[in-house]
Structure 1
């Protein structure tokens, strides 16, 4: 996946210099250059800032135009988009095809032991989660809940929410979100 050349193409079409994009996004010019050359692995938050400045959906950096009609409906395991957050110790896999006009998005999130959201998240979506493996501590507003393997949860995204894996083994969760929040960069993105 060539995220860097997509960012470079959009930046040049906007007549933005590397320095201007760096200043507006709060990154260094060398980091922007490394992203464009696919040398650096930017965080979700960095990509979201860049997408907002460029006025494009975050998901556009990951879409591939293959001309294959199957990909409108089916996302093969080896074609999933993977987003990492090293500070939160998580891997997020987008399970929904990116090249259709969908109203729902599905994620699988793997949280390492000690993984924790950086902050409470808020968005304009509805979220439904299912715990496939492990135990997750979920914060909703002022309350904290322990959800275990086989449990499911629903909440509106306007409630400040966060999570923590307090166990010594990984937690694997599935989430359905509507409307999609990764393709809409105007929302605060929640990994849960």
Structure 2
């Protein structure tokens, strides 16, 4: 199998974030206030000195009303339909979480839904602190095991299990399998039409 393309270099990611921020006419401080991401962190991302954590990426995308795809250099315009072939899906690696995400929605016109194939290394987890962000989340387990803590209520899930919840509720997850856990994640950004 051909390796999936990786996300853009940090410099390209930083330029994309800066462009999205400037298109809104926002200063670093204004984006920080809207996203909850520290100004210093945004500056480091924009200057190619660090990659955002998944939580920061979600919060920046929500504040900028952008699809998480800004983290992946697609090089194409949004389309009315999209076909993603195995081995050709853009990939985003988040080593601090033991997580790799592959884009399932491709260049589809940004809207309410985003879909990702997640591969979580043994011991991989969303972090020490619960996260919150806009929208809803569905996680379907393909292989392995994952434990979700949704506002203090623990759910152990295995192959074929699915969880759906509002992301405004504090939540975190961890891979409880001794091997890589594979999941399909679908995120909404909470927009209503």
- TM-score w.r.t. the length of structure 1 is 0.66
Alignment size in residue pairs: 174
**Residue number among 145, 164, 168 corresponding to 1:158 in the alignment:** 168
Q: Quick check: 1:63–1:99 contact (8 Å CA) kept in 2?
A: no
Counterpart for residue 26 of structure 1? 40
Alignment of 1:80 onto 2:94: no
What do the CA deviations read for 1:9-64 (whole angstroms, capped 9, x no partner)?
567886979xxx9xx631497775445xxxx65544565677688x4626363354
SS in 1 for 2:16: helix
Alignment of 1:103 onto 2:112: yes
In our comparison, the structure showing a higher alpha carbon Rg is 1
Distance 1:43 1:81, change over 3 A: farther
Distance 1:79 1:3, change over 3 A: farther
Unaligned runs of 5+ in 2: 1-7, 32-37
Counterpart for residue 6 of structure 1? 16
Distance 1:180 1:82, change over 3 A: farther
CA distance in 2, matches of 1:29, 1:166: 35
Q: Quick check: 2:143–2:159 contact (8 Å CA) kept in 1?
A: yes
Deviation at 1:173, TM superposition (A): 0.8
Deviation at 1:136, TM superposition (A): 1.1
Counterpart for residue 66 of structure 1? 76
Q: Quick check: 2:131–2:170 contact (8 Å CA) kept in 1?
A: yes
Distance 1:43 1:169, change over 3 A: same
SS in 2 for 1:77: coil
SS in 1 for 2:141: strand
Counterpart for residue 156 of structure 2? 146
CA distance in 2, matches of 1:67, 1:166: 38
